[in-house]
Amino acid sequence: MAQDELTVLYSKDGAVARIVLNRPRRLNAFNVQMRDDLFAALEAARDDPDVRCILISGTGDRAFCAGADLTEFGSTPSQAVARRVRWERDLWGLFLSIAKPLVVALHGFVIGSGVEIACLCDIRIAAENATFRMPETALGMVPAAGGSQTLPRVMGQGDALEVLLANAQVSAFRALSTGFVHRVVAPEELADSALTLAEQLASLDINALAAIKQAVFTGMDLSMDQGLALEHRLAARLMTGMLER
């Protein structure tokens, strides 16, 4: 299959797996084929022992991902059928299962599924031209890929409710102020900045990074005492592993 026919491009740059959404003529709108191809790419990166960090981006100048392709997801006779198509593979659960750091480079339109993908990554870098929106309520729908759960955890309940309820458009710099993105750069610097960060993460101890992710994500659902106990266990396990090497 020619490269321009692939909905997701996968390559390795040293220890960094590069996953690129590749439907630029459709603003990288998320369809069933993209779901399947992204699932396969993430599995490949997760299972490859040479991969130590995953970098996700989108092709084209206009969008990282402009949301679900409504020709498949939003205009079917039954919304229940449309949603079930999206759930046939637990792509979102796969994101959460990956212990390796996930970096995402965001530009242009980041809408719906694009926001939800970004929320499931660990570090988000945005170009100055990035704009974020969750349009589901305007369509009489509820986010179906975790947005109602992940967005409040990433940017805080108040800001997330405005985005989710009022269909508010968020600029890159406002996203930075809420903590949704960690860094804003000029559009021409986005690719290099994201790759540099991914390479820095790939140079670190992969076991330590995995332990930190587990401590943070699991600890959010625990009491402080339980979270501290988890941190202690993970630190001890990591030290034991280092001594045994």
Per-residue pLDDT reduced to its tens digit, 166-176: 888 999 999 99
- pLDDT at residue 77, as a whole number: 47
- pLDDT at residue 98, as a whole number: 95
- Residue 116: active-site member: yes
- pLDDT at residue 168, as a whole number: 84
What pLDDT, in 10s, does the model give residues 142-158? 666 677 778 888 888 88
- Residue 136: active-site member: yes
Which one from 5, 43, 72, 136 is the annotated catalytic residue? 136
The half-sphere exposure of 221 on its side-chain side, counting CA atoms within 13 A, is 4
- The parts of the chain modelled with pLDDT lower than 70 are 1-4, 72-89, 138-145, 242-245
Which one from 72, 88, 116, 128 is the annotated catalytic residue? 116
